[in-house]
Amino acid sequence: MFILGLTGNIACGKSTVARLLGARGAAHLDADRLVHELYSDPDFARRVAALFPGYSAPLLTPQGQIDRRALGELVFNDAAALARLEAFVHPAVAALRDAKLRQFATRQPPPHTVVLEAVKLIESGQFTRCDAVWCVVCPRQAQLERLVAERGLSPEEARRRLRHQPDPQEQRRRVGSTPFAVIANDGSPELLESKVEQQWKALNFEKNP
């Protein structure tokens, strides 16, 4: 299987690009959904909450799952807390991701291409499993507006989230020799689809037939 890493900062349009790739026959594996699956496990959720014993607000829902909004308010205001969370969660996500990839490989026939979508694809080292990486970018004001309108964040909450986003140029540097393409979501849906189609045709699928 050809593994295409898909990353980009929050609210830039990664999910839209993933849908366009799905229309071209690619399977999809979303790291955020893997995190949601882990956070829904009461045992895992308790272990996450135990990372922050001095935090006053409850991090667990009445069902014993992680309250993602409460957790977000904590870690996006505390760099040390965010680092502690990621050090615990990233390995668990990686293990679940690898299990899902093995499941894809046993399909008959297996998918030709799997899109691995993750905001922290590069920072977490997941890009090393990828044959190519795409990074979706868009104007910062568009990100802010989407976070407020679509995710219900206040403008200040949205700005705090955006302050923790990685620099695409630094991401390009960190992937080294892995093929890397930037998809600029800065126009109409039709323009975005044309960019996706252009980069899709440019992929070297012969590397993993």
Report the distance separating Cα 198 and Cα 97, nearest Å.
Answer: 28
Pair 130, 90 in one domain: no
* pLDDT confidence bin for 30, thresholds 50/70/90: very high
Q: How confident is the model at residue 41 (pLDDT cuts 50, 70, 90)?
A: very high
Same domain, 92 and 139: no
How large a percentage of the chain has pLDDT more than 90?
A: 78
pLDDT of residue 57: 85
- Sign of the torsion formed by the C-alpha atoms of 37, 163, 3 and 91: negative
Q: Are 197 and 132 members of one domain?
A: yes
Closest CA to 27 of 92, 100, 134, 119: 100
Between CA 132 and CA 204 the distance in angstroms is 9
Domain of residue 115, residue span: 1-26+111-209
Q: How high does pLDDT run on average in the chain?
A: 92
Number of domains forming the structure of the chain? 2
Which CATH number belongs to the domain containing residue 101 in this structure? 3.40.50.300
Please state the pTM of the whole predicted model.
0.87
Same domain, 92 and 135: no
Does one domain contain both 115 and 206? yes
Residue ending a domain, among 110, 139, 159, is 110
- Per-residue model confidence (pLDDT) at position 209: 45
User: Do 190 and 132 lie in a common domain?
Assistant: yes
Mean pLDDT value across residues 145-172: 86
- Give 130-153 pLDDT, tens digit per residue: 999 999 999 999 999 999 998 888
> What pLDDT score was predicted for residue 150?
87
